[in-house]
Amino acid sequence: MKFAVVVFPGSNCDVDMYHAIADELGEEVEYVWHDEDDLDRFDAILLPGGFSYGDYLRSGAIARFSKVMAAVKQAADAGKPVLGVCNGFQILLEAGLLPGAMRRNQGLKFICRPVQLTVENHETMFTSAYEKGEVITIPIAHGEGNYYCDEQTLERLVKNRQIVFRYHGENPNGSLADIAGIVNERGNVLGMMPHPERAVDALLGSADGLKLFRSIVNYWRETHVVTA
């Protein structure tokens, strides 16, 4: 399986994402600059965290116009796994690949620490390696992680089981309904504020994020079985 790590001006978690795939997962991965217009050679697309274009206007508001985003949308439409973490989640929201919007943290401060999450839906291509209701520890690092959507959108998210992760025990940023991560209706685009790529080895304090990447690979292998 071959992963693409999309790099925007201001990305700063791209190396962490690359390490998680290459060194911990053992799969093929390549950095892709933001002006790339073809992602057909990749099986999964990863949008890392950081401060794309300095977070000017709004987080992700400029990056959504990058040339590569047309190819990201094409990959999503083709059913390929697309993962946006932190700033990557914000970009997916701005691009309309996921519903809702991101606001400043409720306390108006940047937060950087491990948090606990509940796996709300373990039946997605991103979470099949987890147990239903499993509580995991993943770090956050953001100033604008306060997810918001209107009442009708929230009802759809709940009805369609699109809420994949919720903050457990404590909501660090005021996010609506404790939402930490959601998928699109098709289930192949995941946006989440916590950083699973920073939780892939016990030496980092948690290896709980590695299951997310293993889930993606497991899904790919199950759907790309070559029969004689």
Which H or E run contains 102? Answer: strand 101-103
Q: 44 with 9: CB under 8 angstroms?
A: no
Which H or E run contains 94? Answer: helix 87-94
Tokens of 18: 């690359």
Quote the CA–CA distance of 147 and 123 in Å, as a whole number: 22
- Catalytic residue (choose from 34, 86, 120, 149): 86
Quote the CA–CA distance of 154 and 35 in Å, as a whole number: 34
Which SS3 state, helix, strand or coil, does residue 86 take? coil
Can 19 be counted among the known catalytic residues?
Answer: no
- Catalytic residue (choose from 27, 94, 120, 197): 197
Beta-sheet strand order (sheet of 179-183)? 28-33, 2-7, 44-47, 82-85, 189-192, 179-183, 163-167, 111-119, 135-142
- Catalytic residue (choose from 34, 142, 168, 195): 195
Q: 76 with 82: CB under 8 angstroms?
A: yes
Backbone angles phi, psi at 159, to 5 degrees: -60, -40
> Which residues form the catalytic set?
86, 195, 197
